[in-house]
Structure formats: C-alpha cells, structure tokens
C-alpha cells in the first residue's frame, strides 16, 4: 500500500484523539503513557484530547527513557512489566554510562536494577523526597552503583538506574511534587506476569506513531534495535510512505488510507506524544522549523493546525495574565482557532489570556 505523508499525519491526529471533543474519562495515549514534563504536562495533553481523567484513577511513574508518565492506575503492575528492559543488553543501553562500572564488576544490569529496587522499597516506608531517597540509597550501595557527580560535588547513585528501579520497587511519583516525592503503590504485589496487548510498547508506538520501523520504535523506547526486531508483531503489513518502506499494524490500514482531514487547532505541549516520534523530518520537513521546535534546551510547544504542525509557541505569564509568543513558520495565521486554544490554555492555568507577544 502506498501512502502519502498527509495520510500518516491525518492518521496520527485521529489515533491520538486530538480531534475529539470533551466528556471522556479515558484516552488512547494512556496505553503508551502520557509524559508529564513541564508546567502543563500530562494534564494538558489529556485536556486537548477531551479526556478528563480523575487523578485518583492515574498513576505516575518513571518508565520509558526514565521520563515520568501517567498510566491507568488499574494497569500499573502490567505497565511495570511492559516498560521494563527485556534483557541485560537492553538494560545496559537504557542506563547509559551507569552500565560500565557494573560490567567491570561482573554485575548483570538486570540484577543491579533488582538490588537498587529492593533498597528503594525498603527506604520508602513512607513518602520520601527524591533527594532523601538518593542520600539513603547512596549509603547502602556498593561502589559500582555510584558515581562522582561534579555538579553536585558529591557521590551518589546513577540517575537512570535510580529511575528505572523505582517502578520495579513498586514506587510511584506523587503528582505535582517538585522535587519528586516517591511513595509505595497501594496493594502492590509486584510486576504482572502478563502484559495485555494494548500495553506492549512496540505495538503502542506502531499504533499511535506509526507506520514505523524497528529503528524508529527502538529510538522511542530507548532499546537496542535487535531487541525490538525480536519482538516485532507478526500482524504488520509493509507500506510505502513517500518512498520510505515502513510497517503498519494490519488493523490500522483502513484508518491510514481513509482518514479525513482535520480542522482542529491545538497547542501541543513540548513533550506531547504527537511530537515524540523519531521521524521528525516526516512531521516537520523544513530543517529550520525542526531546529526551532526540537531544541535541546528550552523546548517550545507545537502549534497543530489541521493535521500539520505549523509553528511553535511559548508561554509568557505575568501576574494573572497569560500571553503567548507564537512563531508560525510559513507566515500564515491559524486564528481564530488559535485564539480559542490560547484562551483554553489560560483558563487551564487559572489565568486570563492577554494576547500575543513577539516570539
């Protein structure tokens, strides 16, 4: 099947439910986890998808890429299994330079994560701030688990093993805390033995950010390509997108070829799932625009108009007023939809919208 870039973008907007109205208490993006980074984070990502999910129905945990993600609370044990490294090689890649001293000491990485998890759970008899957890953990761990941190001028546990071991230990993050507070997940009995198909991260990326390749999925999960290839679904069909050969889940083919154009305007958060695919050149073909949107530091949000990301935005809050610095790359103007979304964002933050400022 041959598809155009427009077909793929239309499909992703619908698969991620960015064209939905309000009144829903669930969202498809919770299958893959909704990243909670930045002042609006996951709550805004759910709001622009029309999903008002009670916070008590959600659990926040460090998972893929060590980033905080919200999931359905009732599924958190299965999420712990679904998002865990698949092998020692996978775990070593996910914890970056922390793998070297463990390897030199002959300690398998998965075993090391279990050691860190056991200590973290023992420490967290009550909710504990991340800094306190790190201090106590450092005092308990052997040298291969520790690093000398120049910015802190101290020795402490490596960051990625710390993050990836937390859910393994049955610990969640308390929403809205900065620095993060870790606490035990109620009625925790350990990671689930079975993962429902909809929580499989490989299938999740294929469904919500597809079509894709093992390399693109591996980059999202932060796993070796070989590990993803070994878990590649059998029910995929090859498609061609503007000359690229990609795979799509067979059940998604009708939606890929039959999606209608959207008319929505959305202010996507900097880490919204629509911006998290690793085929950035497909989402935003212009290299100058890509450089603006996906900055290493101070990443802005994206302006979605229809099925295209057409610009970037940054909040400028002062007192009880919110202004936006908006850059539309092609010089167009997506208003009045943009005005409506800006007012929506301001109300979401408990502010009033006071117009635009120079980007």
pTM: 0.96
Instruction: Quickly list DSSP for 113-140.
Output: HHHHHHHHHHH-SS-EEHHHHHHHHHHH
Distance CA 246, CA 281 (A): 15
What domain range includes position 299?
A: 265-357
Predicted pLDDT of residue 149: 79
Q: Where are the alpha helices (DSSP H) in the chain?
A: 5-15, 41-47, 76-82, 88-94, 99-104, 109-123, 130-140, 159-168, 201-209, 214-221, 225-230, 253-258, 280-283, 287-293, 337-348
Cis status of the peptide bond prior to 179, with omega within 30 of 0: yes
Helices (H) and strands (E) counted in the chain, each on its own, are 15, 16
pLDDT tens profile 78-128: 999 999 999 999 999 999 999 999 999 999 999 999 999 999 999 999 999
Question: Is residue 326 included in any domain, yes or no?
Answer: yes
Q: What pLDDT was estimated at residue 331? A: 75
Q: Is the pLDDT of residue 44 over 80?
A: yes
CA-to-CA distance for 76 and 16, rounded, in angstroms?
21
CA 307 to chain centre: 20
> Could you give the percent of the chain with pLDDT greater than 90?
91
Please, what is the average pLDDT of the chain?
Answer: 96
The proportion of the chain whose per-residue pLDDT surpasses 70, expressed as a percent, equals: 100
Shared domain for 293 and 245, answered yes or no, is no
Show the tokens assigned to 338: 């943009």
- Say if residue 333's pLDDT is above 90: no
Is the model's pLDDT at 334 over the cut of 80? no
> How far, in whole angstroms, is CA 257 from its chain's centroid?
26
- Residue 229 domain flag: yes
Tokens coding 219: 């980059």
| pLDDT score for 220 | 98
176, part of any domain: yes
Pick the last residue of a domain from 232, 258, 284. 258
Does residue 206 surpass a pLDDT of 90? yes
**pLDDT score of 314:** 97
Q: For the residues 29-56, what does the mean pLDDT come to?
A: 96
Q: Are 322 and 341 in the same domain?
A: yes
């Amino acid at each position: 099947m041959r598809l155009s870039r427009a077909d793929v973008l239309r499909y992703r907007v619908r698969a991620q439910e960015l064209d939905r109205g309000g009144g829903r208490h669930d969202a498809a993006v919770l299958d893959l986890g909704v990243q909670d980074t930045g002042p609006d984070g996951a709550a805004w990502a759910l709001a622009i998808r029309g999903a008002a999910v009670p916070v008590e129905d959600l659990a926040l945990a460090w998972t893929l890429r060590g980033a905080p993600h919200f999931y359905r609370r009732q599924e958190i044990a299965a999420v712990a299994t679904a998002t865990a490294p698949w092998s020692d090689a996978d775990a070593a890649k996910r914890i970056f330079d922390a793998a070297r001293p463990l390897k030199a000491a002959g300690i398998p990485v998965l075993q090391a994560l279990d050691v860190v998890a056991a200590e973290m759970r023992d420490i967290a008899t009550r909710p504990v701030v991340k800094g306190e957890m790190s201090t106590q953990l450092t005092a308990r761990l052997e040298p291969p688990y520790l690093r000398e941190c120049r910015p802190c001028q101290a020795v402490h546990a490596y960051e990625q093993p710390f993050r990836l071991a937390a859910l393994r230990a049955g610990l969640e993050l308390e929403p809205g805390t900065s620095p993060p507070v870790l606490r035990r997940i109620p009625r925790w009995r350990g990671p689930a033995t079975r993962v429902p198909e909809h929580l499989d991260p490989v299938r999740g990326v294929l469904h919500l950010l597809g079509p894709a390749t093992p390399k693109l999925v591996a980059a999202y999960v932060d796993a070796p390509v070989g590990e993803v290839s070994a878990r590649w679904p059998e029910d995929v069909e090859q498609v061609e997108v503007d000359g690229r050969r990609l795979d799509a889940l067979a059940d998604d083919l009708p939606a890929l070829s039959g999606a209608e154009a959207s008319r929505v305007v959305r202010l996507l958060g900097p880490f919204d799932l629509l911006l998290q695919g690793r085929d950035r050149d497909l989402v935003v073909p212009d290299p100058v625009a890509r450089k603006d949107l996906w900055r290493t530091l101070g990443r802005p949000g994206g302006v979605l108009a229809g099925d295209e990301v057409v610009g970037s935005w940054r909040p400028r809050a002062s007192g009880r007023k919110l202004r936006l610095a908006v850059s539309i790359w092609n010089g167009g103007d997506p208003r009045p939809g943009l005005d409506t979304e800006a007012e929506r964002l301001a109300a979401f933050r408990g502010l009033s919208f006071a117009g635009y400022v120079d980007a």
